[in-house]
Amino acid sequence: MDGFALAAASAPGRLRIVGAVAMGSPYLARVAPGEAVRIPTGGVLPLGCDAVLPIEAARVEGELLECGRVEPGEAVTPVGSDLHAGEFLLSPGRRIGAPELSLLATLGHARVEVFRRPRVAVLSSGDELVAIDRRPETWQVRDSNRYAIAGALRAMGAQAFHLPSIGDAPGELLAALKGAVAAFDAVVLSGGSSVGERDETPVAVAALGSPGTIVHGLKVKPGKPTLLGAAGGIPILGLPGNPSSSLLILEAVGGPILARLCGAEPRSATFSARLGAPVRKRRGWTWYLPTLVEQGPDGLVAQPLALRSSMTSLAARSDGYLALGEEIETLAVGERVDIYRYAHGGSPTA
């Protein structure tokens, strides 16, 4: 702290001010008992001193310092108080953010080994899709999913690459997937994954080679037609075409896969709140329920939103989501729940 460096044993009393510590330079003389030197915040404690009297507690008359009792170590950062030699600091799989950059720079690590960002292809399918700068006809929709998915992937640490949209003609999906798995580290497909007769996604993924389609259909809401597959070591995630379904499944199911590709340990950021409305769901199914979080008189209150997977605005209007397991059927008002933060951004209240 800004103040005066001294020996605690010399206080209380009147001490003679014999110099000043300059930032970035050592104080060459030894400070004798009964002496003090001016010192700025961050200055190196001179020899003979073991404490600092903060300037706001000091009374100075000319070159004399009047001070009360001072404890040894007061207003001083001792050597080794932050880090110890040999101490383990950063584990593999930790994303490097501002605190990690500060630590690495302080310790002089100008270069560190990291995982490169995985290159993920984003592919949209469907004859009904048109570019977002076009006015759609009543039987068409703008291809908004690709931008939402790409943004979420980037927030998760991946590089997202938009591939041209494909239609529903036979063989078109397989050709696009062959090109994608040959050039990228993973593929996220939006639309085309359903359980109807026209769904050729499982067949196309299977045709890419082992292991092919691993899972087609999950007992989740939203996102029942989700597909999980792989071609060799290239993961393929087939998302539902409905906007809210695709983003929630990408977060909840695709998130751990993307974390592994990034070399990170999968982890979900959560915060706690109390339910502001009752919840009733189907037992035996997992629900991902978008939730608005408000500040109540006694803490955070979670307000579940009406789950309509076709709503584009649902994720944008929520602060996170509830992950309700198969065993849950009802939740009452006031019950404490965990809210999962979106990895893709947003502004949670907590």
Question: Residue 105: pLDDT above 90?
Answer: yes
Query: Residue 347 falls within a domain, yes or no?
Result: no
Q: Are residues 232 and 182 in the same domain?
A: yes
pLDDT average, residue stretch 314-318: 84
Q: Are residues 166 and 192 in the same domain?
A: yes
pLDDT average, residue stretch 90-118: 92
322 with 339: CB under 8 angstroms?
yes
Cα–Cα distance for residue pair 297/192, rounded to 1 Å:
46
Predicted confidence band at 192 (pLDDT cuts at 50, 70, 90)? low
Q: Are residues 281 and 216 in the same domain?
A: no
Q: Are residues 149 and 238 in the same domain?
A: yes
Residues 56-60: contacts with CB under 8 Å, at least 24 apart: 56/3, 57/3, 58/3, 58/4, 60/17
237 with 254: CB under 8 angstroms?
yes
Computed over every residue of the chain, the mean pLDDT equals 91
Per residue in 163-179, pLDDT tens?
Answer: 999 988 889 999 999 99
Q: Are residues 199 and 235 in the same domain?
A: yes
Query: Residue 161 falls within a domain, yes or no?
Result: yes
CATH code for the domain in which residue 256 is found: 3.40.980.10
How far is residue 119 from each of residues 83, 154, 305, measured CA to CA in Å? 37, 10, 34
Both structure tokens of 320: 């996170």
Which distant-in-sequence residues (6+ apart) come within 8 Å of 133 by Cβ?
none
Query: Residue 94 falls within a domain, yes or no?
Result: no
Q: Are residues 280 and 248 in the same domain?
A: no
Place of tokens 């502001």: 276
Side chain identity, residue 209: G
Residue 328's domain comprises 270-340
Per residue in 207-233, pLDDT tens?
Answer: 999 999 999 999 999 999 999 999 999
Q: Give the residue from 249, 256, 253, 257 showing the smallest Cα distance to 230.
A: 257
Both structure tokens of 86: 């040999």
pLDDT of residue 160: 97
Q: Are residues 144 and 229 in the same domain?
A: yes
Q: Where are the alpha helices (DSSP H) in 234-288?
A: 243-249, 255-261
pLDDT of residue 349: 34
Q: Where are the alpha helices (DSSP H) in the chain?
A: 98-106, 145-155, 172-183, 201-206, 243-249, 255-261, 314-317
Of 120 and 142, which is predicted with more confidence? 120
Side chain identity, residue 1: M
How far is residue 335 from each of residues 187, 275, 331, 348, measured CA to CA in Å? 39, 6, 7, 20
Q: Are residues 177 and 300 in the same domain?
A: no
Of 230, 261, 292, which residue is a domain's last? 261
Both structure tokens of 206: 């299977």
Q: Is the peptide bond before 235 cis (omega within 30 degrees of 0)?
A: no
Q: Are residues 322 and 252 in the same domain?
A: no
| Number of domains composing the chain | 3
Cα–Cα distance for residue pair 279/113, rounded to 1 Å:
46
